[in-house]
Amino acid sequence: MNPDYKLPIRYGLIGGMIMCVISLISYIFYSQLFGTMWSQMIYGLLSLGILIFIPVWGTVTYKHEMGKISFIQALTASMIIIFLTLLFSNVISYIISNVVDTEFPQHLFDIVRNNTAATMEKFGAQDEDIEKAMRQIRLEDFTPTVLSTLKTFGKSLGVGLLFSLLLALFVSRPSKEVEIKTEA
């Protein structure tokens, strides 16, 4: 069986496009999306959910198309999907912050600082604790450089590899087909 990886590439492109749309929506509505801790959590969970769902969906579909697949084929299919999805996500984040709107990182920085301070005050944190937290929030962390984008991409691929190993382990297992005997 000659593995054809067109299907995982297609799913990787679908995942990448979905992540681009989510990034663009978050850019357009960033003051509302990052206005509260809950909205930040929902955005993070949605992104994580997509980063889990697309590789699972694509790899399982690949298995159904190919029939029986090996662990290496499942791992390769999953990593292709994850690689493309993360590539699109990292590139669009870099482009938004460095080409489309160079003031976007400053706006996000201000929103996160204000929300962090307000949340800490609401929970009764001491002023020195709030100031310590404010010092840890740096504008550089919101402004992606080529190097920081590559580092983020590399770390994400590392996590993606661990996820792909688990996914490939389950997907490459032979299906347990139940044979139903009928009496004539």
Mean pLDDT of 35-52: 80
Structure tokens at 16: 């990448």
For the chain, domain boundaries: 6-171
Q: Which two tokens stand for residue 60?
A: 């399982």
Cβ contacts of residue 124 below 8 Å, gap of 6+?
Answer: none
Q: Are 80 and 44 in contact (CB under 8 A)?
A: no
| Host H or E run for residue 152 | helix 146-171
Judge whether residue 96 has pLDDT over 50.
yes
| pLDDT tens digits along 117-176 | 887 877 787 778 878 878 787 777 778 889 988 998 999 999 999 999 999 999 988 776
DSSP string covering 65-113: HHSS--HHHHHHHHHHHHHHHHHHHHHHHHHIIIII-TTHHHHHHHHHH
> Is 0.85 surpassed by the pTM of this model?
no
Kindly indicate the confidence band of residue 181, based on its pLDDT and cuts at 50, 70 and 90. low
CA–chain centroid gap for 31, Å, is 21
| Average pLDDT estimate for 13-20 | 94
pLDDT value for 1 = 44
